[in-house]
Amino acid sequence: QGHVTESGGGLVQPGGSLRLSCAAFGFTFSDYWMYWLRQAPGRQIEWVAAINPNGAARYYADSVKGRFTISRLDALNAVYLQMNSLKSEDSAVYYCAGAERWLGTVANPRQNYDVWGQGTRVTVSA
């Protein structure tokens, strides 16, 4: 049974940066689309970014475009989310998820993803 584990969350001031990491285990990582999603308190899960299996295609929500960068390193079975120019509205629990198919630029029901992490909390506050 495959799984993923996120790390790198924390407290950061507005305008700061954080890099989230997601380590993958137990599945053929290089075959998977990888996604980052987030959920702020009291709000629905929001799709943030996605990267295709070979890393050549990357997609971003309008709310993070130009500030966040998704990348992957298949040799380490890892996907990353570099977050720059952070804003208070970026505060959320960030989830890493993977699927063997393209699920689009929307947050799918959790069961549509083949793997889903436990999340890492990002707090942007002065």
Token pair of 89 as six digits: 């509205």
Please state the separation of Cα 64 from the chain's center in Å: 12
- The whole-number pLDDT of residue 1 equals 82
Return d(Cα 76, Cα 93) in angstroms, integer: 23
- CA neighbor of 100 nearest in space, from 30, 3, 19: 30
Token pair of 115 as six digits: 């793997």
Ordered per-residue pLDDT tens for the chain, 126 residues = 899 999 999 999 999 999 999 999 999 999 999 999 999 999 999 999 999 999 999 999 999 999 999 999 999 999 999 999 999 999 999 999 999 999 999 999 999 999 999 999 999 999
